[in-house]
Amino acid sequence: MRFGDVEDLRGLTVRLQLSNTFYESSGQWWFSVDSVSLLYNTSEEAVFNASDVYAPASASYRCLHVSSLQRYSALLLPGTDHARRWAITFTDFQIQAFSVTSGKFSPASDCITFLTPAILMGLITSLILLLVLAYALHMVIHLKHIEHEDEHKADIYYPHNPEQLEHCCAENAAEKNVM
């Protein structure tokens, strides 16, 4: 891609070097972006090595940010000293190297990882809740019934006739008056 003169840069050109490889394990061809080169001022070149920018040759590759910045996962790594002075970011990046039909992209292979921080926190929270549930079930299973153990029962006296009831109530009243 040639942009001509851009601000202080003369003849800015962006080159994407792609490769196509057959993998027997998947049984299909895969393309990858090997490097991104910026050629500027007709003689200076900044080369960035691309990591993890690949897709099946029959599909396209799509990513919200392909960048050399850490906040965007740094898929482009500086390959030369000139590249260390640059920060490059492609926003809403989509590329297809092969099998382009009628000028449209094939279904995309996204760059989204499966283990994002939100998913990781959800997994940790679920693990903690599962441990609490397991502990609670363990405690319920090992609960002992108090009414089956005789040494914990209190001796209670129930009088059978009215005379014993009056005598019992009088003793309790006398004990309360003494205290």
Helix spans in the chain (H): 81-84, 117-141, 162-178
- Residue pair 16/95 in contact (Cβ under 8 Å)? The answer is yes
Look at residue 135 in the predicted model and tell me its pLDDT: 95
d(CA 126, CA 116): 15
pLDDT of res. 133:
96
Distance set, CA 65 to CA 48, 51, 89, 147 (Å): 15, 13, 7, 67
Task: Report whether pLDDT(164) > 70.
Answer: no
pLDDT in tens, 26-67: 888 888 889 998 888 777 888 999 878 888 888 888 888 888
Write down the pLDDT at residue 109.
81
Tell me the domain boundaries of the chain.
Answer: 2-112, 119-178
Instruction: Determine the pLDDT at residue 39.
Output: 84
pLDDT digits (tens, 9 = 90+) for 62-99: 888 888 888 888 888 888 888 888 888 889 888 888 77
Burial class (CB in 10 A: 0-12, 13-18, 19+), 63: buried
Reported as a single tens digit per residue, the pLDDT across 104-157 is: 888 888 877 666 778 889 999 999 999 999 999 998 888 876 555 555 556 666
Distance CA 155, CA 2 (A): 99
pLDDT for position 169: 58
pTM exceeding the 0.85 threshold for the entire prediction: no
Higher pLDDT, 1 or 162: 1
For 47, 84, 138, the CA distances from 143, given in Å and listed in that order, are 69, 66, 9
Range among 95-104, 149-158, 159-168 rated most confident: 95-104
Cα 172 to Cα 156, 158, 163, distances in angstroms = 14, 14, 14
